[in-house]
């Protein structure tokens, strides 16, 4: 059998640009996987995917023309069903006919014919009849046909189209109408077909700039080069993207002044999905538009026109922008002028919205929030704003003073007001951002203005946190209100579904409390938030607390802490999350001590003993300490425990845990020499009290029993 490189291309009408990258990888990957499953690829086979606005293609090296034959051993049926009185049953004959080996029944019991044979052997339960034979490997056309059909069926198509074929009667379903198919094994066209197309060796080039039409592909290996040379198409998505990046940097350098194109991977992928032969051009707009907040201008250029705004060396928007054109005319002035004319009305709209919005203060817009539904079970945005205000005031008072509480209340009142502005109505992504601009326009100062913008933070993993204490108070209040309200009405995330992004809100709370080391007790905040909802049940706050600690545990494991370390610290449900990192560090250092394993095991044993005891409070009567080992343990505790407690209260968690290491020998001796469950009730209770006292002393920083192997 021969091995050659394979090229498969499906030439279609313009594909959805946002989905192109995913479609390209999915098509090539599925085709390679299907051919591999059919044993038509080799161990050294390599895959290269191609995706342009009008094509999906795959190049696979070392593809066999015929899959090798494969020995099979197939169980047919139990011997008792297959053979009756020494002769094959009717059911057995039919089964053999189904396998294409019906003639073997007439040869029984010497059922051997060339490479095929029947044999009897055990299947683990009883004797059964097996077919031993050779499965003939499929030819490439047969295997490729089924592989291609499977690959198309598995494509993650955003929306399917139904269209008619050339005969005018038949129709097919696909993401876009398909016009041609290439299937080249080396230079040989393979006879396969899909979507009403038969494979050939021609494709379409650039709509306007191809040197020839159609483009003839000589062999599989010349595909990309031929398309680029005579078809004016860069077929590779990655190569085309890299070319756009190169040209963007080159064009920005020509502008000078340290200008750089805005970085946006999603926009870059989308533009790569729009052009076949990228050509970056520099355009500009009137400087008067720069009076509008740059976020508005940037968003309208990116979202509506797919342009790349240019920033100066200080990160400020300039009046120049970059266009990725799909054509390369000798004189690009018409393309540049056209794009400049197109962007002008968009920027004028943004300026109009901004000017109109500034005619009303944010405070005057607050009553309008009563007309905006937040959730049909939780009321309007106006009602929501009042709940956020209540929580923000409590947090502000705990974080600072009455002044901070008043500022947090003020910012929370205005935080959602920009939702009813024209600009945010047009660009919802600007909520918060526009609120900050309008607050500054109202003369409210940066404390309030920054808090209005920042109360949505952190919006995603790695996002920045609010800049000031007012922003922290309002951001915490906003996320707590969201979580408490949705938990109160039973809208909890399930599996991968989290339509209200509650996991993200919980992680945002965790990050703010930890990274800003805020002196706030988690369960107190949750109780205050949950108490604002009449729909909340008795266990709502508890469920919400558990939900947040689960997010915290996952975050800590991602940061490199072991499950044992995380469980040891979080088992105590520490209320001040800013302490968690210090507790974890202390646990890690403690676990490295030679005494740690024995103390952790003893702690676990003590916990089990106390669970079984009906009466055990942390009280010890010295007069009832009879055995030398329990007297020695009590004496060691009187020395170590106060020291460990002082260090704990002072926040020295490492010192507190390491002080406890001094108890090891006394603890070991106690368990070796003292019967805890003595027959005398007073002795038993006193020894349980001694263990309860020890248990409390040992488990202030973390539950050390979780460190036991």
Q: What token pair was written down for 672?
A: 């070796």
Rounded alpha-carbon distances, angstroms, from residue 26 to 56, 100, 341? 10, 36, 38
Both 350 and 377 in a single domain? no
pLDDT at 598: 86
What is the distance between the alpha carbons of residues 630 and 696, in angstroms, rounded to a whole number? 17
**Is the predicted pLDDT of residue 105 greater than 80, yes or no?**
no
What is the distance between the alpha carbons of residues 134 and 72, in angstroms, rounded to a whole number? 6
Both 463 and 406 in a single domain? yes
**What sign does the dihedral 574-580-585-591 (CA atoms) show?**
positive
Both 252 and 115 in a single domain? no
**What sign does the dihedral 548-550-554-559 (CA atoms) show?**
positive
pLDDT at 113: 67
pLDDT at 490: 92
In this prediction, residue 137 has a pLDDT band, given cuts at 50, 70 and 90, of confident
Both 335 and 438 in a single domain? no
Q: Which residues contact 699 (CB under 8 A, 6 or more apart)?
A: 572, 603, 705
Both 424 and 492 in a single domain? yes
8 Å CB contact between 11 and 207: no
Last residue of a domain, one of 294, 325, 357: 357
**What sign does the dihedral 31-34-35-36 (CA atoms) show?**
positive
pLDDT tens-digit readout, 307-333 = 999 999 999 999 999 999 999 999 999
Name the H helices within 99-236: 140-153, 223-230
pLDDT tens-digit readout, 414-469 = 999 999 999 999 999 999 999 999 999 999 999 999 999 999 999 998 899 999 99
- The lowest-confidence range among 97-106, 137-146, 194-203 is 97-106
Both 396 and 539 in a single domain? yes
Both 119 and 155 in a single domain? no
Residue 699 lies in a domain: yes
Read off the pLDDT of each residue in 291-297 and give the average, rounded to a whole number: 96
Q: 629 is in which domain, residue-wise?
A: 592-707
In the three-class reduction of DSSP (H, G, I as helix; E, B as strand; rest coil), residue 463 is classed as coil
Give the count of beta carbons closer than 10 Å to the beta carbon of residue 263: 10
Instruction: Sort 288 into a burial class: Cβ within 10 Å, 0-12 / 13-18 / 19+.
Output: exposed
pLDDT at 546: 96
pLDDT at 477: 97
CATH number for the domain spanning 628: value is 1.10.730
Give the count of beta carbons closer than 10 Å to the beta carbon of residue 111: 20
CATH number for the domain spanning 457: value is 1.10.3210
**Is the predicted pLDDT of residue 672 greater than 90, yes or no?**
no
Q: Which residues contact 197 (CB under 8 A, 6 or more apart)?
A: 178, 179, 180, 181
Please tell me what DSSP assigns to residue 679: S
What is the distance between the alpha carbons of residues 556 and 693, in angstroms, rounded to a whole number? 30
In this prediction, residue 676 has a pLDDT band, given cuts at 50, 70 and 90, of confident
Residue 207 lies in a domain: yes
**Is the predicted pLDDT of residue 51 greater than 90, yes or no?**
yes
Beta-ladder partners of 494: 497
pLDDT at 116: 76
pLDDT at 131: 77
Q: What is the mean pLDDT of the chain?
A: 91
What is the distance between the alpha carbons of residues 181 and 199, in angstroms, rounded to a whole number? 5
Q: Which residues contact 364 (CB under 8 A, 6 or more apart)?
A: none
Name the nearest CA neighbour of 551 among 510, 492, 491. 510
Name the nearest CA neighbour of 388 among 451, 447, 444. 451
pLDDT at 348: 96
Distance of CA 531 to the CA centre of its chain: 32
Residue 580 lies in a domain: no
Looking at the 3D structure of the chain, how many domains does it have? 5
Name the nearest CA neighbour of 615 among 557, 677, 555, 572. 677
Q: Evaluate the omega torsion of the peptide bond into residue 214 and state whether it is cis, within 30 degrees of 0.
A: yes
pLDDT at 689: 87
Residue 583 lies in a domain: no
8 Å CB contact between 152 and 193: no
In this prediction, residue 494 has a pLDDT band, given cuts at 50, 70 and 90, of confident
Compute the residue count for the chain: 709
Both 86 and 26 in a single domain? no
pLDDT at 412: 97
8 Å CB contact between 64 and 10: no
pLDDT at 709: 66
pLDDT at 58: 97
Name the nearest CA neighbour of 23 among 291, 256, 231, 237. 237
**Is the predicted pLDDT of residue 124 greater than 80, yes or no?**
no
- Report phi then psi at 254, rounded to 5: -65, -35
Name the nearest CA neighbour of 411 among 468, 454, 348, 474. 474
Q: What token pair was written down for 544?
A: 């919400």
Residue 642 lies in a domain: yes
pLDDT tens-digit readout, 498-533 = 999 999 999 999 999 999 999 999 999 999 999 999
Beta strands in 326-455 (DSSP E): 373-375, 379-380
Both 219 and 242 in a single domain? no
Helix 628-649 crosses helix 664-673 at what angle (to 10 degrees)? 150
Both 210 and 350 in a single domain? no
What is the distance between the alpha carbons of residues 170 and 187, in angstroms, rounded to a whole number? 31
In this prediction, residue 139 has a pLDDT band, given cuts at 50, 70 and 90, of confident
pLDDT tens-digit readout, 365-397 = 999 999 999 999 999 999 999 999 999 999 999
In this prediction, residue 590 has a pLDDT band, given cuts at 50, 70 and 90, of confident
Q: What token pair was written down for 580?
A: 């968690």
Residue 573 lies in a domain: no
In this prediction, residue 98 has a pLDDT band, given cuts at 50, 70 and 90, of confident
Read off the pLDDT of each residue in 669-684 and give the average, rounded to a whole number: 85
Read off the pLDDT of each residue in 152-163 and give the average, rounded to a whole number: 88
**What sign does the dihedral 630-632-638-643 (CA atoms) show?**
negative
pLDDT at 615: 63
Last residue of a domain, one of 179, 202, 230: 230
What is the distance between the alpha carbons of residues 388 and 411, in angstroms, rounded to a whole number? 10
pLDDT tens-digit readout, 335-358 = 999 999 999 999 999 999 999 999
Residue 574 lies in a domain: no
Q: What token pair was written down for 613?
A: 């005891």
In the three-class reduction of DSSP (H, G, I as helix; E, B as strand; rest coil), residue 216 is classed as strand
Both 149 and 285 in a single domain? no
What is the distance between the alpha carbons of residues 636 and 620, in angstroms, rounded to a whole number? 14
Residue 571 lies in a domain: no
pLDDT at 205: 95
Burial track 132-159 (b if 16+ CB lie within 10 A, e otherwise): ebeeebbbbbbbbbebbebbbeebebee
Helix 563-570 crosses helix 540-558 at what angle (to 10 degrees)? 150
What is the distance between the alpha carbons of residues 511 and 551, in angstroms, rounded to a whole number? 10
**Is the predicted pLDDT of residue 661 greater than 90, yes or no?**
no
Last residue of a domain, one of 357, 392, 422: 357
8 Å CB contact between 178 and 11: yes
pLDDT at 1: 63
Both 204 and 320 in a single domain? no
In this prediction, residue 169 has a pLDDT band, given cuts at 50, 70 and 90, of confident
Beta-ladder partners of 139: 66
**Is the predicted pLDDT of residue 100 greater than 80, yes or no?**
no
In this prediction, residue 479 has a pLDDT band, given cuts at 50, 70 and 90, of very high
């Amino acid at each position: 059998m021969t091995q050659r490189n394979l090229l498969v291309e499906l030439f279609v009408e313009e594909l959805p640009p946002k989905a192109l990258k995913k479609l390209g990888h999915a098509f090539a990957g599925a085709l390679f996987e299907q051919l591999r499953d059919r044993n038509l690829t080799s161990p050294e086979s390599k895959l290269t995917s191609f995706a342009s606005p009008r094509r999906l293609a795959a190049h696979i090296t070392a593809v066999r023309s015929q899959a090798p034959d494969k020995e099979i051993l197939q169980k047919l049926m139990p011997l008792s069903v297959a053979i009756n009185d020494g002769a094959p049953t009717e059911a057995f004959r039919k089964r053999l006919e189904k396998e294409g080996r019906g003639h073997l029944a007439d040869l029984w019991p010497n059922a051997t014919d060339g490479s095929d044979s029947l044999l009897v052997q055990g299947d683990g339960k009883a004797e059964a009849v097996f077919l031993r034979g050779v499965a003939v490997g499929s030819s490439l056309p047969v295997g490729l046909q089924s592989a291609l059909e499977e690959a198309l069926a598995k494509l993650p198509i955003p929306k399917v189209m139904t269209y008619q074929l050339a005969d005018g009667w038949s129709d097919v379903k696909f993401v876009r109408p398909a016009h041609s198919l290439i299937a080249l094994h080396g230079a040989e066209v393979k006879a396969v077909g899909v979507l009403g197309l038969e494979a050939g060796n021609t494709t379409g080039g650039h709509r306007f700039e191809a040197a020839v039409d159609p483009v003839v592909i000589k062999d599989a290996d010349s595909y990309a080069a031929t398309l680029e040379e005579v078809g004016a198409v860069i077929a590779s998505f990655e190569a085309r993207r890299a070319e756009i990046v190169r040209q963007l940097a080159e064009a920005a350098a020509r502008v000078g002044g340290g200008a750089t194109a805005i970085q946006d991977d999603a926009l870059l992928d989308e533009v790569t999905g729009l052009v076949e032969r990228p050509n970056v051009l520099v355009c500009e707009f009137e400087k008067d538009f720069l009076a509008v907040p740059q976020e508005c201008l940037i968003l309208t250029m990116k979202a509506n026109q797919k342009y790349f705004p240019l920033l100066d060396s200080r990160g400020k928007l300039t009046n120049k922008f970059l266009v990725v054109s799909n054509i390369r005319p000798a004189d690009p002035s018409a393309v540049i002028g056209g794009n400049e004319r197109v962007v002008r009305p968009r920027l004028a709209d943004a300026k109009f919205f901004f000017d109109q919005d500034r005619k009303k203060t944010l405070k005057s817009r607050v009553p309008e929030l009563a007309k905006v539904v937040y959730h049909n079970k939780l009321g309007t945005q106006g009602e929501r704003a009042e709940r956020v205000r209540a929580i923000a005031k409590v947090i502000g008072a705990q974080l600072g003073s009455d002044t901070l509480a008043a500022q947090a209340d003020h910012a929370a009142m205005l935080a959602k007001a920009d939702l009813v502005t024209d600009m945010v109505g047009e660009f919802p992504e600007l909520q918060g951002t526009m609120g900050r601009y309008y607050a500054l326009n109202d003369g409210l100062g940066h404390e309030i203005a920054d808090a209005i913008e920042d109360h949505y933070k952190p919006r995603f993993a790695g996002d920045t946190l609010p800049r000031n204490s007012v922003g922290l108070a309002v951001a915490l209040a906003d996320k707590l209100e969201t979580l408490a309200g949705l938990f109160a009405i039973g809208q909890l995330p399930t599996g991968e579904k989290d339509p209200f992004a509650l996991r993200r809100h919980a992680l945002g709370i965790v990050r703010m409390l930890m990274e800003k080391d805020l002196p706030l007790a988690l369960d107190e905040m949750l109780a205050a938030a949950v108490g604002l909802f009449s729909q909340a049940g008795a266990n709502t706050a508890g469920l919400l607390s558990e939900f947040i600690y689960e997010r915290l545990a996952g975050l800590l494991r991602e940061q490199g802490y072991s499950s044992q370390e995380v469980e040891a610290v979080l088992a105590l449900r520490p209320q001040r999350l800013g302490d968690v990192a210090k507790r974890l560090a202390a646990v890690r250092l403690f676990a490295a001590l030679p005494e740690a394993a024995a103390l952790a095991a003893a702690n676990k044993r003590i916990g089990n003993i106390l669970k079984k005891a009906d009466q055990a409070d942390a009280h010890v009567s010295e007069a009832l300490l009879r055995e030398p080992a329990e007297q020695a343990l009590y004496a060691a505790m009187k020395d170590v425990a106060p020291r460990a407690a002082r260090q704990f209260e002072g926040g020295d968690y490492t010192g507190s845990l390491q002080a406890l290491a001094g108890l090891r020998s006394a603890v070991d001796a106690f368990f070796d020499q003292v019967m805890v469950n003595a027959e005398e009730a007073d002795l038993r209770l006193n020894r349980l009290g001694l263990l309860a006292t020890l248990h409390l002393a040992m488990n202030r920083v973390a539950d050390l029993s979780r460190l036991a192997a």
